[in-house]
Chains A and B, each alone.
Chain A
Amino acid sequence: EADIYQTPRYLVIGTGKKITLECSQTMGHDKMYWYQQDPGMELHLIHYSYGVNSTEKGDLSSESTVSRIRTEHFPLTLESARPSHTSQYLCASSGLAGSRTGTQYFGPGTRLTVL
């Protein structure tokens, strides 16, 4: 079982609040990812990182930002939450350096509701 953790698991907040979703992995993986998923629907990549101090935007445009200061930690921040941000956010990690497949391991997700 993958050792990738996300906190909080559930978050209900009001419009305009700043929030940070935490993601940590203990597998020494260099690559990390954030996905957005509505219940039972397709996963959409919103951010990814090759390693420390490397972040890129994914295919789905997002108002969120990410940082990668430490290998194991990849937090996602929303400066001003809106109801349109209501969704599930999944963090994943992959690949020791040189991995041929890049198998991604997912955390349990954070279910965000913005009122």
Chain B
Amino acid sequence: QQQVKQSPQSLIVQKGGISIINCAYENTAFDYFPWYQQFPGKGPALLIAIRPDVSEKKEGRFTISFNKSAKQFSLHIMDSQPGDSATYFCAASRRGSARQLTFGSGTQLTVLP
């Protein structure tokens, strides 16, 4: 059972455009929602994260929007750059079970120069 659904599977945007990746979750016990960025041959790196008590969090060009009632959250990358080309994973965790992360299936982002 996939508890975190991520879309789209791949995304191509022009330099300077906005990249938007969406995730939906099922388990209402989730209380922490990070986004990870992964370059080929590297481990995932934490990009930005949010807790459900806020509806939006912004760090530089990266913004998470969170809709608790709809059980959805999204990553917006403003002014997308070729260096942003990577695979992005949303994830969710809850208390207990060593705070295991449940990952989405990933979005391969390509930013064209």
B72 contacts which chain A residues (CB < 8 A)?
none
Q: Known: A42-B106, A102-B32. Is A107-B98 also a contact (CB below 8 A)?
A: no
In the complex the two chains form, is A95's CB within 8 Å of B45's CB?
no
In chain A, residues 94-115, which have Cβ atoms closer than 8 Å to a Cβ of chain B?
A: 94-95, 99-109, 111
In the complex the two chains form, is B98's CB within 8 Å of A103's CB?
no
A99 and B99 CA atoms in complex are apart in Å by 10
A26 and B34 CA atoms in complex are apart in Å by 22
In the complex the two chains form, is B104's CB within 8 Å of A105's CB?
no
In the complex the two chains form, is A103's CB within 8 Å of B105's CB?
no
In the complex the two chains form, is A103's CB within 8 Å of B42's CB?
no
B34 contacts which chain A residues (CB < 8 A)?
101, 103-104
B103 contacts which chain A residues (CB < 8 A)?
42-43
CB distance from A107 to the nearest CB of B (A): 5
In the complex the two chains form, is A40's CB within 8 Å of B108's CB?
yes
In chain A, residues 63-115, which have Cβ atoms closer than 8 Å to a Cβ of chain B?
A: 90, 92, 94-95, 99-109, 111
A56 and B41 CA atoms in complex are apart in Å by 27
| Number of chain A residues close to chain B: CB under 8 A | 30
A-B contact pairs, 24 of them (CB 8 A): A31-B98, A33-B98, A33-B101, A40-B87, A42-B103, A42-B105, A50-B98, A56-B98, A90-B43, A90-B44, A92-B43, A100-B32, A101-B93, A102-B93, A102-B99, A103-B49, A105-B46, A106-B44, A106-B45, A107-B43, A108-B41, A108-B43, A109-B43, A111-B41
Question: Which B residues contact A (CB, under 8 angstroms)?
Answer: 32, 34, 36, 40-46, 49, 51, 87, 89, 93, 97-101, 103-106, 108
16 new A-B contacts at CB < 8 Å, known A101-B49, A102-B98, A111-B41: A33-B100, A39-B40, A40-B106, A41-B105, A42-B104, A42-B105, A48-B100, A90-B43, A90-B44, A94-B99, A101-B34, A102-B101, A104-B101, A106-B36, A106-B44, A109-B43
